[in-house]
A and B are shown apart, each in its own frame.
Chain A
Amino acid sequence: DQQVKQNSPSLSVQEGRISILNCDYTNSMFDYFLWYKKYPAEGPTFLISISSIKDKNEDGRFTVFLNKSAKHLSLHIVPSQPGDSAVYFCAARDSGAGSYQLTFGKGTKLSVIP
């Protein structure tokens, strides 16, 4: 049961352009969402998060948008840099259920071309 889906396994973007990574979820009880970046042979690195009471959160080059009615969130990276090349994971949590666990998507591999 894929509660968190990242339907694009890979994405290629030119350096300086915008990268848009998408994530869909099916569990309407999810109320906290996070994006992680992962390089090979390393653990997931936290990037940015958003609570379900918001629809946008921005941190430097990274912006996350949440559309609760569509059960969709996206991560925008502007401008994209070669160092952004990594696998990006969307994760979600139902904190209201007293649950600690993060449910992850399968990830999207971003390649930023110089």
Chain B
Amino acid sequence: EPEVTQTPSHQVTQMGQEVILRCVPISNHLYFYWYRQILGQKVEFLVSFYNNEISEKSEIFDDQFSVERPDGSNFTLKIRSTKLEDSAMYFCASSLGGLGPSTQYFGPGTRLTVL
């Protein structure tokens, strides 16, 4: 069964450093998403991406964040200058459709620890 994959599984970085989290969505999916879950809190939406551009973003997704689809398979989330409060699990998701009843399938997550 096709699945979303993410690398690395765990990333440790120093405050102020840049990190890139990588995702390979399900191959025939067209819509891609990033969510995060801070320990003990809810899963929160960050951004959605379609046709090589951001289609929606939340208040969390400020200028420190960016997304890119550098090739036909990868989807990346970059945090330019990490802060302590960026420590969280980051989940990538993809879906075949966008609007309407479309199911988003999640990857296993990357645990980001900012020291």
Judge whether A89 and B43 touch: CB under 8 Å: yes
Judge whether A43 and B109 touch: CB under 8 Å: yes
List, in ascending order, chain B residues with CB within 8 A of A105's CB. Answer: 42
B2 interface residue (CB < 8 Å to A):
no
Judge whether B58 and A101 touch: CB under 8 Å: yes
Complex: how many Å from CA A89 to CA B44? Answer: 12
B65 interface residue (CB < 8 Å to A):
no
Q: Which of A48-98 contact B (CB under 8 A)?
A: 49, 51, 89, 91, 95, 98
List, in ascending order, chain A residues with CB within 8 A of B106's CB. Answer: 36, 43-46
Complex: how many Å from CA A102 to CA B93? Answer: 11
Complex: how many Å from CA A91 to CA B101? Answer: 12
**Known pairs A102-B45, A104-B43; A95 contacts B103 (CB<8 A):** no
Question: B75-93 toward A: CB 8 Å interface, digit per residue (1/0)?
Answer: 0000000000000000100
A100 touches which of B31, B101, B105 (Cβ 8 Å): B31
Complex: how many Å from CA A45 to CA B3? Answer: 10
Q: Which of B20-50 contact A (CB under 8 A)?
A: 31, 33, 35, 41-45, 48
Judge whether A98 and B43 touch: CB under 8 Å: no
In the complex, residue of chain B having the shortest beta-carbon distance to the beta carbon of A53:
B101
In the complex, residue of chain B having the shortest beta-carbon distance to the beta carbon of A96:
B99
Judge whether B99 and A101 touch: CB under 8 Å: no
Complex: how many Å from CA A99 to CA B42? Answer: 19
In the complex, residue of chain A having the shortest beta-carbon distance to the beta carbon of B50:
A100
B100 interface residue (CB < 8 Å to A):
yes
Q: Which of A15-54 contact B (CB under 8 A)?
A: 32, 34, 36, 41-46, 49, 51
Judge whether B42 and A98 touch: CB under 8 Å: no
Judge whether B42 and A100 touch: CB under 8 Å: no
B55 interface residue (CB < 8 Å to A):
yes
A contacts, CB < 8 Å to B = 32, 34, 36, 41-46, 49, 51, 89, 91, 95, 98-107
What are 15 residue pairs bridging A and B, where the CB atoms are less than 8 Å apart in the complex?
Answer: A32-B101, A42-B108, A43-B106, A49-B101, A49-B103, A89-B43, A91-B43, A95-B99, A95-B102, A100-B55, A100-B56, A101-B56, A103-B45, A104-B44, A107-B42
